A and B are shown apart, each in its own frame.
Chain A
Amino acid sequence: MSATGTYAPAPGGAPLSRMVRAQAALETRTQLRNGEQLLLTVVIPTLLLVLFSAVDIVDTGAGSRVDFLAPGILALAVLSTAFTGQAISTGFERRYGVLKRLGSSPLPRWGLMTAKTCSVLVIEVLQVALLTVVALALGWSPHGNPATVALLLLLGTATFSGLGLLMAGTLKAEATLAAANLVFILLLVGGGVIVPLDKFPGAAQSVLHLLPISALSDGLRDVLQHGAGFPWGDLGILAVWSVLGLTAAARFFKWE
């Protein structure tokens, strides 16, 4: 035993921007390496887009099927990454004590949450790029203002992140895994993603319209399919959901 100086204290945190960037990069790599997550975020949306565009299974109304489906599938991509994927990974990070371990590192909690958001956005950009290329190949002709589309996607991301983190931070990891997948399927069917909401009975429709996934897919469809300027109603519904979700997550999230 002699002083080598190897472990001589030299404490200090890295600059915040470097910490957040490193954390976001790690989270993104972890997600992209995870087969189950890729199935959810890449394979399922792409398959649904190709399958339902190519085969006349659901009556999507006037116009080409891909013009109806592409906006819905973009909404589904946001749901899969911001909600289901994030809820499951965060739930297990909580269960394995990863969040706790990071809680005593120099990275502040809000820095961790910022990194998670960045990682979700990076994955969404990749999803949107892939799905856009596939949809264009299937004959998609999008309309409208890309900035409005980006705003809808961002509000959708905020909403689903809030709800996903609320679930991950309050339920057990196994319960989150089951519930996040169940919600994914229910919203896929009942949220205007591939089945137009007007196929449902009137009473159900008015409720289903208030779901965040319906607002997102409907808003995207208004702009991308019909060239609408600003889907106020859908943006309003998403804004309310995002405030509710993020507030509840901030209030009830348990780190251990």
Chain B
Amino acid sequence: MDGLDLTVARGTVTAFLGPNGAGKTTTIETCEGYRRADAGTVRVLGLDPVAQSAELRPRIGVMLQSGGIYPTARVGETLRHMATLHAHPLDVPALIERLGLGGCGRTPYRRLSGGQQQRLALALALVGRPELVFLDEPTAGLDPQARHATWDLVRDLRADGVTVLLTTHHMDEAEELSDDVAIVDGGKVIAQGAPEVLCKGGAENTLRFGGRPGLDLKSLLKALPSDTLAVELSPGSYRLTGTVNPQLLATVTSWCAQNGVMPDRISVERRTLEDVFLELTGKELRS
């Protein structure tokens, strides 16, 4: 990591995005107390994760990328044991039901499907009723149903006041779930903010429309805010980029009315988090 600077507010969901090898897991594991920061300061719930590990550990829930469960350990037994290590654990049978693992109580870990293994690892992170939960790729390899079930659970955690820090490769997941997104690359936070703000921030949105070829775009631009750009991509096909809002749309359509142009195929495109992510981290494949 290289000067990673990040603060996570209590009671929020923060998503850590980044290409493979960007330092997501390293960062999370430093917060969990598995790694010692070579330099700089890490405080989790106000505690030093290494020096005050004994105080911190009972207050956090950890879901590792690699389950950390013995292949022959059974679902119920594993969860009950983790519950026993805590003072006020969740009701284990109810948690098993909630995660759709009912009926697997006596199944050994190695005989669970990949999705079930993920959900057991998630349950292990929650059973101790932590105030802060670290989820390292909680939905990797899940089918859409299980993914949505996990999302619902994360929303419930947030509603109940649990702070969640998760890593993911799914942009829709980050957009859907998080109050705050941090994009990490090369050991640094290269962008941070609410997903809506990140999508808006810096760059503009796009308005496309079709009309008769050769419209006088200079005259159109005079009616629009100065940061707006307009091009005729191909004859009769136009693209405006800028702050696309209802005013801009109204201005464009009234300009068309004045000029006797019938605009067709009007479309407004918002930047997705994926666009932002690719813009910031580039498109080359990472190892």
Contact = CB atoms under 8 A, between A and B. Distances in A.
Contact of B70 (A19, A22, A96, A256): A96
A11 B34 contact: no
A11 B130 contact: yes
B57 A105 contact: yes
B57 A106 contact: yes
B71 A96 contact: yes
Given A98-B68, A104-B33, A104-B34, A11 B156 contact: no
B102 to A, nearest CB: 16
B241 to A, nearest CB: 35
A100 B88 CA distance: 23
A1 to B, nearest CB: 4
Contact of B84 (A22, A93, A104): A22
Contacts of A96: 66-71
A35 to B, nearest CB: 10
A256 to B, nearest CB: 8
A248 interface: no
A106 B160 CA distance: 22
A62 interface: no
A226 to B, nearest CB: 44
Contacts of B124: 101
Q: How large is the interface on B (under 10, 10 to 19, 20 to 34, 35 or more residues)?
A: 35 or more
Interface size for chain A: under 10, 10 to 19, 20 to 34, or 35 or more residues? Answer: 35 or more
Interface string A208-221: 00000000000000
Interface in B43-102: 54, 57-60, 62, 64, 66-73, 77, 81-82, 84-88, 90, 94
Contacts of A22: 81, 84-85
B156 A6 contact: yes
Contacts of B130: 9, 11
Given A1-B156, A26-B77, A98 B59 contact: no
B114 interface: no
A104 B58 contact: no
B24 interface: no
Interface in B84-129: 84-88, 90, 94, 124, 126, 128-129
Interface in A1-33: 1-14, 18-19, 22-23, 26, 29-30, 33
B169 to A, nearest CB: 20
Contact of A106 (B68, B72, B85, B156): B85
A146 interface: no
B217 interface: no
A101 B64 contact: yes
A12 B87 contact: yes
Nearest to B88: A10
A227 interface: no
A4 B91 CA distance: 14
A147 B33 CA distance: 43
A106 B128 contact: yes
Nearest to B78: A26
B58 to A, nearest CB: 4
B67 A97 contact: yes
Interface string A163-186: 000000000000000000000000
Given A6-B90, A14-B87, A104-B33, A26 B58 contact: no
B183 interface: no
Contacts of B72: 30, 33-34
B57 A13 contact: yes
A105 B85 contact: yes
B141 interface: no
Nearest to B158: A1
B86 A7 contact: no
Nearest to B54: A108
A11 B128 CA distance: 6
Interface of B: 32-34, 54, 57-60, 62, 64, 66-73, 77, 81-82, 84-88, 90, 94, 124, 126, 128-131, 152, 155-162
Interface of A: 1-14, 18-19, 22-23, 26, 29-30, 33-34, 92-93, 96-98, 100-108, 256
